[in-house]
Amino acid sequence: MKRAIFICFLIINSVFVFAQKTWVKQRVTNRVIVAFPTAPSKTAGTTFALKDTTNTVYTVTYSFIAQNLKIAPKAFNKLVMTNEFASEFLSGLQTTLAGYNLEQVKIKQNKNYVSYLTEGKNENEKKSIFMHIIFVDGVYYSLSVVIPDGESLQNKDIFLNNFQVTK
């Protein structure tokens, strides 16, 4: 009996370990690597995307925001920590994501970068969006997952937190 339980434990454990290994690391820029459930496509110059069999969409996009705003990266890094900038940034996101009612941004300070977390719901299309925006040296990286209502949220947190900022 103990042996049967041990074998079942090993099988279940190996299934979870195998599932984790299938994630594909995608180098987005020379500073950031993001893991996707499977290999994404480069859909635009600065966007990588993947739509899975459940119609869940994973995207990563980036923009040289400090350069576009003509602000030095060091000054920009201080600016993104302010609630005023976060509110304006959220307003900009809201206009690009018509139909989604986004929640207030949560600001997180990490060692080498600042990140914003938000999520929203599109009642008409019956979808939710979850976003993790990371600011690194004046560049923002937006990791987003759009999930149809009723689909599993299992991979959402894995995707949104499975990134690497390199030196």
Return the CATH number at 112: 3.40.1000.10
**Which pLDDT value is given to residue 103?**
95
pLDDT at position 12, please?
A: 44
pLDDT confidence bin for 15, thresholds 50/70/90: very low
Domain-embedded: residue 48: yes
Of the pLDDT bands very low, low, confident and very high (cuts 50, 70, 90), residue 61 is very high
Residue 15 lies in a domain: no
Query: Which band of pLDDT confidence, cut at 50, 70 and 90, is reported for residue 139?
Result: very high
Burial of residue 75, with CB atoms counted within 10 A of its CB: 0-12 exposed, 13-18 middle, 19 or more buried: exposed
Please compute, for residue 65, the number of CA atoms within 13 A of its CA located in the half-sphere on the CB side. Answer: 21
Residue 21: the pLDDT is: 62
Backbone angles phi, psi at 3, to 5 degrees: -65, -40
pLDDT of residue 19: 45
Which domain does 118 fall in, by range? Answer: 24-165
Residue 10 lies in a domain: no
For the cut 70, the answer to whether the pLDDT of residue 104 exceeds it is yes
Q: How many structural domains compose the chain? A: 1
pLDDT (mean) for 17-30: 78
First to last CA, the chain: 51
Does 119 fall in a domain? yes
